[in-house]
């Protein structure tokens, strides 16, 4: 689209997450959606790379005959199988669907950062696979082989269909709701629910002092993911403010139904992958935990609790509040090429 030559300044009050003025898209200032800028800065402050984490202990434990049980090996590989493709699905949604419809440059700034973080996460999984000498073809294909992972992936991917279409445009009631639905599914369900029983399993390993390098990788991923979730929730709530007509009672019920469907898929995943439970987490506690976090996600967008289940894994919230410096102190390899540049 040609640029209109003018001294007329962008009016911040016209800036919108979607359906804003064309001139807004490349002008970071004046900034309206400061939550996106804050998220961008937080992402930079939390920067990490998978190769900074020492994997030697994990390699020895994985090779040893007497450290991990068969159930633990199966659980470890299956959650890794879920993770390996999940972040690529999330990255594709950002880059191929969400980004081009956003008319807030500060939101676009954060999406660029978020897209890179999804790549770092996929890198982390490949680094674990490579370090432990696992069969990458097997692990990365699990989303097509393991029924419960396949069901989650298929559910998520079905929300790409409309907005991946090159002809798709926001600006109509129906399409704006479709876009909002996509953001809700990817943040509340994908980043907010689908990762969480796998996170819990990995921290189960950590609590047993098993596979701590892998667990540390996943801890950094979880911190990033909670930021992605926060950003997604801010997007949803801002679109609600900017276009309140989209948030109809029918649409609210639709969101509740989708979150409940996602919750059931996650419960099915946890109970089918760990039928005997693992590290003291049984089917019932997984169900309660997933329902508990689903209610929390709904509350963040102003929707009523559906389950009122207790939180059987209170230690999970501690795992999110990780202090990078303290945690890295013992295990991190400092290998940034900082200091003088040699020309």
3-state secondary structure of 93: helix
Choice among 40, 110, 125, 196 that is catalytic: 125
Stretch that binds Fe ion, among 54-62, 158-166, 190-198, 330-338 (CB under 5 A): 190-198
With beta carbons less than 8 A apart as the criterion, state whether 306 and 294 touch. yes
**Do the annotations mark residue 87 as ligand-binding?**
yes
**Do the annotations mark residue 161 as ligand-binding?**
no
Closer to Fe ion at the Cβ: 179 or 231? 231
Closest separation between CB of residue 116 and Fe ion, Å? Answer: 11
In 3D space, the residue among 90, 121, 52 whose CA is nearest the CA of residue 188 turns out to be 90
Residue with tokens 């090429």: 337
**Do the annotations mark residue 206 as ligand-binding?**
no
Q: Which residues pair with 281 in a beta bridge?
A: 278
Q: CA–CA separation, 194 vs 196, rounded Å?
A: 6
Stretch that binds Fe ion, among 157-165, 220-228, 280-288, 331-339 (CB under 5 A): 220-228
Q: Cα-atom radius of gyration of the chain, to the nearest Å?
A: 21
User: Binding of Fe ion at residue 223 (CB under 5 A)?
Assistant: no
User: Binding of Fe ion at residue 206 (CB under 5 A)?
Assistant: no
Closer to Fe ion at the Cβ: 58 or 191? 191
Stretch that binds Fe ion, among 46-54, 85-93, 145-153, 248-256 (CB under 5 A): 85-93
User: Binding of Fe ion at residue 124 (CB under 5 A)?
Assistant: no
Sequence-distant (≥ 6) Cβ neighbours of residue 136 within 8 angstroms = 126, 129, 130
Closest separation between CB of residue 280 and Fe ion, Å? Answer: 28
For the question of residue 125 being annotated catalytic, the response is yes
With beta carbons less than 8 A apart as the criterion, state whether 219 and 290 touch. no
Cα dihedral 22→28→30→32 (10° resolution): 80
User: Within 10 A of 40 (CB to CB), how many other CB atoms are there?
Assistant: 21
Closer to Fe ion at the Cβ: 90 or 189? 90
**Do the annotations mark residue 225 as ligand-binding?**
yes
Stretch that binds Fe ion, among 39-47, 98-106, 187-195, 256-264 (CB under 5 A): 187-195
3-state secondary structure of 322: coil
Closer to Fe ion at the Cβ: 78 or 187? 187
**Do the annotations mark residue 261 as ligand-binding?**
no
Stretch that binds Fe ion, among 57-65, 155-163, 171-179, 226-234 (CB under 5 A): 226-234
Q: Which residue is nearest to Fe ion (CB)?
A: 228
17, 75, 90, 215: which one contacts Fe ion (CB under 5 A)?
90
User: Binding of Fe ion at residue 190 (CB under 5 A)?
Assistant: no
**Do the annotations mark residue 254 as ligand-binding?**
no
Element (H, E) at 292: helix 283-300
Closer to Fe ion at the Cβ: 185 or 281? 185
Sequence-distant (≥ 6) Cβ neighbours of residue 309 within 8 angstroms = 287, 288, 289, 291, 292, 295
In 3D space, the residue among 31, 177, 208 whose CA is nearest the CA of residue 101 turns out to be 177
> Apex CA 78: angle with CA 74 and CA 82, to 5°?
175
User: Binding of Fe ion at residue 228 (CB under 5 A)?
Assistant: yes
User: Binding of Fe ion at residue 39 (CB under 5 A)?
Assistant: no
> How many positions of this chain bind Fe ion (CB under 5 A)?
4
Q: Helix 212-242 vs helix 173-184: angle between axes, to the nearest 10 degrees?
A: 160
3-state secondary structure of 18: strand
Closer to Fe ion at the Cβ: 110 or 313? 110
Binding positions are: 87, 118, 121, 191, 225, 228
Binding interface with Fe ion (CB under 5 A): 90, 191, 225, 228
Give the active site residues: 125
Residue ranges of the binding site for Fe cation: 87, 118, 121, 191, 225, 228
């Amino acid at each position: 689209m040609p640029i209109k030559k003018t001294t007329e300044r962008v009016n911040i009050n016209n800036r919108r997450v979607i359906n804003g003025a064309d001139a807004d898209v490349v002008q970071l200032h004046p900034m309206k959606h400061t939550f996106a800028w804050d998220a961008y800065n937080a992402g930079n402050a939390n920067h990490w790379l998978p190769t900074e984490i020492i994997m030697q202990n994990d390699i020895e434990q994985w090779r040893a005959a007497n450290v991990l049980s068969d159930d633990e090996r199966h659980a470890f590989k299956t959650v890794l199988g879920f993770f390996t493709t999940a972040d690529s699905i999330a990255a594709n949604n950002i880059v191929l669907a969400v980004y081009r419809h956003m008319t807030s440059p500060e939101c676009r700034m954060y999406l660029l950062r978020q897209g890179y973080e999804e790549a770092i996460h996929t890198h982390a999984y490949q680094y674990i696979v490579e370090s432990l000498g696992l069969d990458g073809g097997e692990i990365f294909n699990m989303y097509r082989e393991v029924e419960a992972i396949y069901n989650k992936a298929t559910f998520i991917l079905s929300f790409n269909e409309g907005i991946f279409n090159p002809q798709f445009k926001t600006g109509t009631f129906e399409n704006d709701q479709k876009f909002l639905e996509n953001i809700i599914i990817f943040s509340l369900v994908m980043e907010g629910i689908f990762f969480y029983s796998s996170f819990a399993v990995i921290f189960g390993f950590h609590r047993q002092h098993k596979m701590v390098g892998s667990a540390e990788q996943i801890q950094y991923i979880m911190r990033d993911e909670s930021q992605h979730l926060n950003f997604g929730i801010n997007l949803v709530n801002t679109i609600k403010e900017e276009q309140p007509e989209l948030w109809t009672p029918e649409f609210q019920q639709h969101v509740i139904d989708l979150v409940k469907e996602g919750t059931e898929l996650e419960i099915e995943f946890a109970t089918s992958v760990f039928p005997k439970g693992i590290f003291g987490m049984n089917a019932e506690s997984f169900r309660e935990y997933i329902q508990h976090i689903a209610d929390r996600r709904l509350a963040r967008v102003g929707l009523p609790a559906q389950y009122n289940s207790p939180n059987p894994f209170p230690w999970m919230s501690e795992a999110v509040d990780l202090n990078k410096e303290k945690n890295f102190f013992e295990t991190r390899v400092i290998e940034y090429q900082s200091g003088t540049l040699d020309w």
